[in-house]
Amino acid sequence: MDQSQANHPIRGGGRGGGRGGGRDGGRGDPRGNANGSLKLGSEIIMVFVGNSTTPTPVHRELIAASSEFFAKALKGNFIERDGTWLYLEHFDAEPKPALWSQLLRLNVLGNYLQDRCFRNATVDAVFNNASHDYPSILAAPAFK
């Protein structure tokens, strides 16, 4: 990718990964170094989220390791690369949706971005929220 392409911001949005491997097939977190720190890299890209006109700075190496979608977009093997945007027409803003609804939307975003770890974390959060709000008879002693 030449320098002019690297300066293009990317329009990211929400379509809907925790535990489980990310893009490396379960061999460990592709975002991490051997010592457990994050591989950030030195290049920062600007990502627009949703309808925001304010770009969000993101480490290029980190977002590419987390998301197959961004990895392809940033390598240039992406048909929309020159437009550098992403529309999500069916995600209209709701006035303060319930937590579970937000978590499900985040799961859809994780699916769209092909980030298994993020997607799994959202599913875990949905189940944790549901089990707290709607405990089963088997879990009743834990809530006494």
Q: Which sequence spans correspond to the domains of the chain?
A: 3-88+97-131
Mean pLDDT of 51-66: 85
Nearest CA-CA partner of 81 in 117, 105, 57, 45: 45
Mean pLDDT of 53-81: 79
pTM for the model stands at: 0.42
CA–CA dist 10, 76 (Å, integer): 12
Residues 103, 105, 109: CA angle, nearest 5 degrees: 110
Amino acid at 62: L
What's the token pair of residue 83? 């437009």
For helices 116-133 and 99-113, the axis angle rounded to 10 degrees is 160
Beta-ladder partners of 10: 47
Binned at pLDDT 50, 70 and 90, residue 89 comes out as very low
- In whole numbers, what is the pLDDT of the chain averaged over residues? 68
Q: What is the pLDDT of residues 113-126, one digit of tens each?
A: 888 888 988 888 87
Nearest CA-CA partner of 15 in 93, 113, 141, 129: 113
pLDDT at residue 7, as a whole number: 47
